[in-house]
Structure 1
Amino acid sequence: MPELGEVAHMAHLLTRYAKGKIVTAFSIDTADTIVFPAIVPTAKYVNQTITDVGRHGKYFWFALTTNHSAVDIVLMHFGMTGWISFNTDVDSHFFPMERSVNGKRPETYADPAKAQWPPKYTKFEVSLGNDLKFAFTDPRRLARVRFIDGIEGNIEEEAKKLEPLCRTGTDFSKPDRLSEEQFTEILEKRKVPVKALLLDQAVCTGVGNWMADEILFQARIHPMQRGNTLSPETKSLLYKCLCEVCELTVKLEADSSKFPESWLMTYRWSKRKKSDDRQTTADGYTVDFLTVGGRTSCFVPELQVYTGDDSLALQSPKSKDASKSKQPKEPKKEQESKKKMNEAQKEKRENKRKINEDIKTKDEMIRNGRVTRSRAKR
């Protein structure tokens, strides 16, 4: 899923290639009422100028205006697989991380948009003149595109008063973020794993799975550790790492080739089944995975030590509930011994049942006078 850095990268591309240009055509997939919660006639945007591009967390937008003070904005969220492609070569390093080779862009990767235009799964397409076009695509239809008209004043401040931005929290890559004291107060009130808190978009908007893992790794905190159990020093360190990771991710626009070598992010994309063949960091520490809040978390057990209930810390990635985790298998000899014992008990119960049935049958024959009691005894 595109996170804070990828959204910042797209906002930069739109600012560089689209801002200041006039829209000559604007078409949408009117049949898709999932990506578009409300369908509007986009013909009204033709001949309007893209005057502003902004972002907040995982949301971003471009503003359209004529000579009026009010502007219309197209508000977007990429969901899991959304993206914007241009019909010309743009300076973009983006590629889906699931196709990475140890967190790096493979040399053979090719932008699908180069194969055909408009690209497959296009949801809307904008033409800007001089044959420049861009298209919003989404194969899985988890993205959302909303059209908001008539915004006056500061676009970001006014947009944040409306749905769905009004339900988002602080963007920690920006100067107007929560203070350390405010963030610490939230940590102390919320008795949940720190990983789950970082993924809460009402608290840390824009922070996704890999960013949360990176923040916790830099702060040396186990993903399952509850925020209210952290020491004051660790809470302060967590806040510092949260701000630094968000700021640097936005500054580098999620270009993984420029991330510090000490970051965990580039080592999280190669899961190994065998414990002796797992990925290691630049310092030689083993990278491991577990499930927190339904999400697979990457961490380094030697550096991120859990101080709570060990059964939770040992939760496997495939387990939905730590209490349901598999118990270690018994030795083969003990298994065979138990099997023989069970078979012997089963045979004993069967013999006893047959004897009881034989006695019951003879008693019935005696009551019916078919045999004498002395004969029955024989």
Structure 2
Amino acid sequence: MPELPEVQALVDFLSDRLTGAEPRVVTGVELASIAVLKTYAPPPDALVGLPVGSVTRHGKFLDLDCEGIHLVFHLARAGWLRWSESLPEKPIRPGKSPIALRVRFDDGSGFDLTEAGTKKSLAVYVVEDPQAVPRIASLGPDPLADDFTLEQFAEILGRKRAQIKGVLRDQSVLAGIGNAYSDEILHVARLSPFAMTTSLDEETVARLYDAMRETLVGAVDSASGKPAAELKDAKRAGMRVHGRTGEACPVCGDVVREVSFADSSLQYCATCQTGGKPLADRRMSRLLK
């Protein structure tokens, strides 16, 4: 699943190609999967003929603002954006490929939103106000916002007793962090994913805040300027522990361990994060909600 750094890279990638002194104009919106469209008014055709004014991000949501009509989409677990400098002229055929939506621009370029696998979660919205998308309206603060302070972070963690892994991933608490980067942040902060928020003292909260900002800023910088097609591989290559079960921890050399859940897993280093004690595989899917 693309998370904050990859989504920000896609924002920058699309901004470079669609906005500026001579913005690209939408010439077509082709829906190949009706299931991905979560709104009915305005219709997708309302975007046709409009220039792209800006491309922004709300957590993991991308937002193309075309003169007040917003094309908003969330790539979910298996979705992706595939850019083409020259799209085929032939319209896409529903159900014949992984393509769910195609957007065309006046210079012949455009992008497809694709989704692999059988579990379909890709979501597209056409709205006049992004806050009309319920999951955007309920987002917590952006962890990379200039005005998101350590004091605000500490206040958020103090609101309820919960495992820190789940708190970092909860989009209503912090917008944009998912399974992969929460693993990375906790490794940098030297914290167990099962640590309870109420057990964290001031020094630990500050260490976690710094680790969060450092990890995300580094990942954004690493992804910046890369073509959309390269972002997935770049994300995997940059991981320290996530997705590296059985490999050596890059900090201490201990083996990276895994805790599995119903449809996901987390990775951690026992030496760096849990005092050398392996975590029990509790299979509590609620941890990774």
Query: Normalization by structure 1: what TM-score?
Result: 0.63
1:186 positional shift: 2.5
**Aligned residues: CA RMSD:** 3.1
Q: Which structure 2 residues correspond to residues 202-281 of structure 1 after superposition, within 5 A?
A: 202-253=172-223, 265-272=239-246, 278-281=247-250
Which amino acid counterpart does residue 315 of structure 1 have in structure 2?
A
Distance 1:27 1:124 in 2: 6
Structure 1 stretches lacking a partner, 5+ long: 66-70, 90-112, 152-158, 273-277, 323-378
Distance 1:185 1:292 in 2: 29
Q: Compare CA radii of gyration and give the structure with the larger one.
A: 1
Residue 142 (str. 1) matches residue 121 (str. 2): yes
Look up the match of 1:169.
140
Which of 61, 64, 70 matches 1:62? 64
When residues 117 and 208 of structure 1 are mapped into structure 2, their CA distance, relative to the original with a 3 A threshold, is farther
Distance 1:270 1:247 in 2: 21
1:160 positional shift: 4.0
> Per the alignment, in what secondary structure is the counterpart of residue 24 of structure 1?
strand
> Per the alignment, in what secondary structure is the counterpart of residue 175 of structure 2?
coil
Look up the match of 2:228.
none
Distance 2:240 2:202 in 1: 30
Distance 1:27 1:5 in 2: 28
Which of 49, 52, 71 matches 1:50? 52
Distance 2:14 2:245 in 1: 35
When residues 224 and 294 of structure 1 are mapped into structure 2, their CA distance, relative to the original with a 3 A threshold, is farther
More strand per residue: 2
Distance 1:45 1:268 in 2: 39
Residue 284 (str. 1) matches residue 222 (str. 2): no
When residues 128 and 256 of structure 1 are mapped into structure 2, their CA distance, relative to the original with a 3 A threshold, is closer
1:218 positional shift: 0.8
Which of 100, 103, 109 matches 1:123? 100
Look up the match of 1:72.
69
Which of 17, 22, 26 matches 1:23? 26
> Per the alignment, in what secondary structure is the counterpart of residue 195 of structure 1?
helix
1:82 positional shift: 1.1
Look up the match of 2:227.
none
Distance 2:219 2:124 in 1: 24
Look up the match of 1:320.
283
Distance 1:121 1:256 in 2: 17
When residues 199 and 37 of structure 1 are mapped into structure 2, their CA distance, relative to the original with a 3 A threshold, is same
Q: Tell me if the contact between 1:196 and 1:293 (Cα under 8 Å) persists in the aligned partners.
A: no
Residue 304 (str. 1) matches residue 273 (str. 2): yes
Cα shift readout 1:123-148 (whole Å, capped 9, x = no counterpart): 22121123212111123421110110
Report the number of matched residues.
268
1:76 positional shift: 0.7
Residue 13 (str. 1) matches residue 13 (str. 2): yes
Distance 2:264 2:30 in 1: 36
1:12 positional shift: 1.4
Q: Tell me if the contact between 1:191 and 1:228 (Cα under 8 Å) persists in the aligned partners.
A: yes
Look up the match of 1:2.
2
1:267 positional shift: 4.5
Q: Tell me if the contact between 1:256 and 1:266 (Cα under 8 Å) persists in the aligned partners.
A: no
Look up the match of 1:32.
34
Q: Tell me if the contact between 1:53 and 1:61 (Cα under 8 Å) persists in the aligned partners.
A: yes
> Per the alignment, in what secondary structure is the counterpart of residue 103 of structure 2?
strand
